[in-house]
Structure 1
Amino acid sequence: APMFHASFRHVGAPRRELGIATVFNFLGPLTNPARPAASAVGCADARMAPLMAGVLAGQGVDAWVFRGDDGLDEITTTTTSTLWLSGGAETSQHVLDPRDVGIGYSPLEALKGGDAAYNAGVVHQLLAGEQSAVRDAVVMNAGAALAAFAQGPGAVVEQWQAGIKQAEESLDSGAAASVLDRWVNVSNNV
């Protein structure tokens, strides 16, 4: 956000020092200067999620705004997640259960990261095809983003499943690893 919202540049350090969600956690997705037609947004505050979905609907954005029912600001593998779906100018609320798409629950500890080296190792394992709770979380959240952009016919769980399948194919084919390699190469040459 600081790169694209000039006014946000000055609030980054104080936000990090606070260590809690601030108004900027909510404003960022709502004031995206790219003005995407669709969006997937994780929201840690259950009170704010339906408001965010409503604002996005008012902007004409097809959005999946979600919150893990364990309090995570993403679709979780530990239990169900609540989804606020905006399509056109309307919103609706749904429950996403990993078991509905063939993914079992896993403990929160299986999702915890660490320092940069540890997290980089987790990403490399993910891109190498290792089956894990992290992979489950990644494909469920990527699947939601893909579903938000597709907004096709069918039940929410069917749209989510189609997005998950696409995310799994990207990982399994090596396409996701190829994109990361290209980003690393570009960033090393800038």
Structure 2
Amino acid sequence: MTPVLYVALVPARSGGKTRLEVPDRALLARAFLCDVRAALEQATHVGQVIVLDTPGGLVEAIAEGGQLAATRAPGAPIVVVPADLPALTGEALDPLLERARPYPSAWVRDHRGTGTTLLTARDPRDIPARYGPQSATAHASVATELRNADLRARLDVDTLADLHRAVDLGVGPATARVVRELPPRTG
């Protein structure tokens, strides 16, 4: 069976994660984005990748991205993939996209259990994006949760501890290069 090809929307902040305390957050954010794009290009269920700038807000950017995707790939489903998943691989993503296919919308809980990483929508004009504090609770009311997702698809990096955990799990080459230049771990 030929896989359904999703359009991946990747919201990215140009300045990087504000909670991530490292010397050059913007450089690390660009590395994360590079590795997420590479993972999406490896995924057999992703046909296009659209990177979204988020100056007006995350939910607004996703809605605009959905409209753009509907124009570029009519009928294609959407997957929202945050740019802060540096350990993501195509191998971790493909089974989730296959599992999401029967649902109008599906989502993946982050590694903390309170947030959301991936969000899918069959209709790109109707993406039920509820990102923000406690987004897991918000998404649970509008979409189907994809449980038991690979940690590589759940480990969003918000803190230095998250970054160390991602590095231990295995990050992409761009992130690995930047991390090698960071001060050594302590503790």
TM category (shorter chain) comes to under 0.3
TM-score for both structures, normalised by structure 1 = 0.27
TM-score for both structures, normalised by structure 2 = 0.27
Larger relative contact order (CA 8 Å, sep ≥ 6): 2
- Answer 1 or 2: which has greater helix percent: 1
Higher Cα Rg, which structure? 1
